[in-house]
Structure 1
Amino acid sequence: MAAAVEATDGVGGWTKEDSAHAPSRETQNTSRYGSILMGFFSLYCPMLFILPFSIPLYRRATEVIFVTWEMYAVALMEVFYGVKFFLSGDIIRPRERSLMLLNHRNRLDWNYFWGALAHATSPPAHNLKIVLKSGIRKFPGLGWIMQMSCFLYIHRRWEEDQRLMNNVLGYFRDIDHIFQVLIFPEGTNLTPETKKKSEEFATKAGLPPLDHLLHPRTTGFTFLVEKMRNSGLLDAVYDVTVAYPKTLPLSELDLIKGKMPEEVHFHIKRHPASNLPGTEEGLRTWINGLWSEKDKLLKTTLQQGHFPEPGAEIPNPRLHGSYLAVLFWTPLTLGMTYLLATWWVVQWWCLTFSIIFTVISFATDGIQHFEVWLHRRELTRLAKSE
């Protein structure tokens, strides 16, 4: 991944040109969220009828659907918003079971990380599971889809979170699943308030100050490394650093307004699992050292507008194979929207599944744990029949 990149300084604002295009960008964001809802009703909901009869088919189908939507999201960012992704460092190997560490600059980092996955993964395929706050599972459409895709939701209550992650990771071990887990070790995105709390923690813990990062929370990281490693589910840890040298969006509201970064830069460093410390204390020291190095890297990057190692700008996005997803998702979204507006059968279908998933999301930890329960019940049945 080596090519020259035009340097820029500082963090830019929203230009007049951006403002002029804001209405169309808002429309495009509405369209993208519409694709999430229409995809959920038209593609994901029918998969629920497969779940009781073929868990492997259900697991594979839901993951393929999600990856194609990721491709669509990346295509929209690059083709319609003109977002440019710059990559440097190592290639991501999709046939590895890996843990990915990403700094949390804003609430939308996971959204842009799909761009890195689309272009830094060779061959271009992956099966990413993101560790998310539990409340996101209740979000209509996207939260429901992530439940069905077996994402890892946490409550920030460690005993309960440990149980929930053990449940899903144990299931992946049982079915010999190849997957990647993305975590934000900082726990939350960087704001003046969270920065102050991080500095107070660092002072008490005797850690060096960080300028562009929050200090990582080590409990979840060490648990995931040890759990995945002991279960034979960890081939590598990827340290991913994201930087926004120009416009910096901060929240979902910026996304709705069409305030998108002109450039998103990613630097990727692969660490083989065999190189990681073997103890919990060693892992804590390792990630704290990693974050100190990452902070220095970001300081240089934001000064010169790109990572010290030149990043490769992604080629003309219109030529990238993932944009075939546009030809699938756009007519699907428009067609399903038309049916929803005109046909009572589709209206009742959407209403019924909206009610079902609202109840599931508020009354349980998510439908993914029902999938795990079905799998374990089948194992018990097979054991008794032998």
Structure 2
Amino acid sequence: MAEKLAGWDAVCFLMFFSSFFGTIYILTPMLPLMLIRPKWYRAVVDQFIAWWETFPVALLELVYGVRVRLTGDVIRPGERTLIIMNHRSRLDWMFLWACLLRRGHLSKEKIILKTSLKNIPGPGWAMQVGCFLFIKRRWDEDEKIFKRMLNYLTSIRHATQLLLFPEGTDLTEYTRKRSNDYAKEYNLPKYNYVLHPRTTGFVYIVEKLRKAKQLDSIHDITVGYPAGVLQNEMDLFAGRFPKEVHFHIRRHPLRTLPNTTGQLELWCTTRWAEKELQLKEFYQRKRFKDLNLVDGRKSANHLRKEQVKAILWLSILFWGNFVVMMLYLMVTNFFILKMTIIIAVFYIIEGLIFGGVEDMEIKLHNAVWGKLPWK
């Protein structure tokens, strides 16, 4: 029962109260900046969202004792990159925040997610304001979404670090079977630790960003859970947290990538074949082969342990007190209650009219600032 209560506390704070009130009373007042200067708006809002993203990391590491270990290459300051990662659980992206926090790049990350998540009150609204990419897993529609979002981020020269899960879904017994059925049909090897990647979106993003001169590298990240895995939201509710999360990072400069569509597809599938072997060894050894932990001595951009811990404790203090204060004001102050309802209704209505804050942002940008410089 104690574990379930602990998990319930995490869900309440992470996925509802902090994101709900943060979106309404911190992010929403920033929306008028869209009309003044889109690049300023993105910079300010991205910093606020990054500050919230430290809160889940703080709870996982300081409250639930999850240890994060990093090996491999570093993500360089200001680097425009596509991050590709295996999708072991539905919540890999949340654990990746712990990795990116230590690199100082949380504010640049944009995640590619399924569109059903964008209308969840609180976290969904925050992700809309964050200009995340919501896809429908139908390429005829997703291509238009990718084109619109990448055109916009490129036009404002946003140093985006775009997170893509080429597998398209998390690894379960069911998805592993589907992947291996696909492998059998096309005479491909069967995998136990990864799913066969879908390369269409990957190739499109690389070619689009390379053409716009807005891509410096690809960071291939492999995630492993040597002792327990937080598979989905129900595990979060139940308080079943992994003891450790390991990330192994390999940086591939743009100049090393192939130039043709077919070669890019092969490049991606080759990385996944390597991941299968890498993860097989990982689960035998309970660590990645490269034992050189990334730390402050190897990268000036990497935060020291003391700095990380200070940021995490400040995050808990800030967001914990913020949520308590807002709940108190909701109960005692009718004006705050009324404003909360009005702003919540606004997000519902704008979703129906514009399709989301991120689409409203792009439409306003195009209307006010004219045509995009490239297509």
Same fold judged by TM-score > 0.5? yes
Q: Aligned to 1:370, which of 349, 360, 368?
A: 360
Cα separation, partners in 2 of 1:157 and 1:149, compared to 1, 3 Å? same
Does residue 380 (structure 1) correspond to residue 361 (structure 2)? The answer is: no
Does residue 104 (structure 1) correspond to residue 83 (structure 2)? The answer is: no
Shift in Å, 1:198: 0.7
Q: Aligned to 1:323, which of 313, 323, 333?
A: 313
Does residue 29 (structure 1) correspond to residue 11 (structure 2)? The answer is: yes
Q: What letter matches 2:46 in structure 1?
A: E
8 Å CA contact retained: 2:83, 2:163: yes
**Superposed CA RMSD:** 2.1
Distance 1:142 1:209 in 2: 36
Give the equivalent residue in structure 2 for 1:58.
41
Q: Which runs of 4+ in 1 moved over 6 A?
A: none
Shift in Å, 1:327: 3.1
Q: Aligned to 2:25, which of 42, 52, 59?
A: 42
Q: Aligned to 1:134, which of 108, 115, 118?
A: 115
Does residue 156 (structure 1) correspond to residue 137 (structure 2)? The answer is: yes
Q: Aligned to 2:55, which of 65, 68, 72?
A: 72
Does residue 337 (structure 1) correspond to residue 331 (structure 2)? The answer is: no
Distance 2:40 2:159 in 1: 15
Cα separation, partners in 2 of 1:84 and 1:67, compared to 1, 3 Å? same
**What is the percentage of aligned positions where both structures have the same residue?**
36
191-200 or 237-246: bigger deviation: 191-200
Distance 1:50 1:313 in 2: 37
Give the equivalent residue in structure 2 for 1:360.
350
Post-superposition CA distance 1:188-231 (Å, at most 9, x none):
01111111111111122222221111000010000011011111
Give the equivalent residue in structure 2 for 1:5.
none
Distance 1:229 1:244 in 2: 33
Q: What letter matches 2:206 in structure 1?
A: V
Distance 1:143 1:183 in 2: 18
Does residue 90 (structure 1) correspond to residue 85 (structure 2)? The answer is: no
Distance 2:372 2:55 in 1: 40
Give the equivalent residue in structure 1 for 2:298.
none
- TM-score by structure 2 length? 0.91
Count of aligned pairs between the two proteins? 363
Shift in Å, 1:321: 3.4
Distance 2:334 2:204 in 1: 49
Cα separation, partners in 2 of 1:276 and 1:367, compared to 1, 3 Å? same
8 Å CA contact retained: 1:241, 1:266: yes
Distance 1:233 1:133 in 2: 24
Does residue 259 (structure 1) correspond to residue 240 (structure 2)? The answer is: yes
Long gaps (5+) in structure 2:
296-304
Distance 1:113 1:50 in 2: 29
Does residue 115 (structure 1) correspond to residue 84 (structure 2)? The answer is: no
Cα separation, partners in 2 of 1:377 and 1:291, compared to 1, 3 Å? same
8 Å CA contact retained: 2:167, 2:195: yes
SS of residue matched to 1:77: helix
Distance 1:62 1:69 in 2: 11
Distance 2:98 2:340 in 1: 30
8 Å CA contact retained: 1:173, 1:231: yes
Q: Aligned to 2:262, which of 274, 281, 295?
A: 281
Cα separation, partners in 2 of 1:82 and 1:382, compared to 1, 3 Å? closer
Distance 2:66 2:334 in 1: 39
Distance 2:3 2:343 in 1: 36
Q: Aligned to 2:64, which of 61, 81, 95?
A: 81
8 Å CA contact retained: 1:126, 1:180: no
Post-superposition CA distance 1:12-62 (Å, at most 9, x none):
xxxxxxx64442342243223311111111101212233333433322221
SS of residue matched to 1:170: helix
Does residue 234 (structure 1) correspond to residue 215 (structure 2)? The answer is: yes
Give the equivalent residue in structure 2 for 1:15.
none
Shift in Å, 1:252: 0.7
Distance 1:21 1:211 in 2: 30
Cα separation, partners in 2 of 1:86 and 1:214, compared to 1, 3 Å? same
- TM-score by structure 1 length? 0.89
Cα separation, partners in 2 of 1:313 and 1:323, compared to 1, 3 Å? farther
Shift in Å, 1:316: 6.2
8 Å CA contact retained: 1:137, 1:361: no
Does residue 245 (structure 1) correspond to residue 235 (structure 2)? The answer is: no
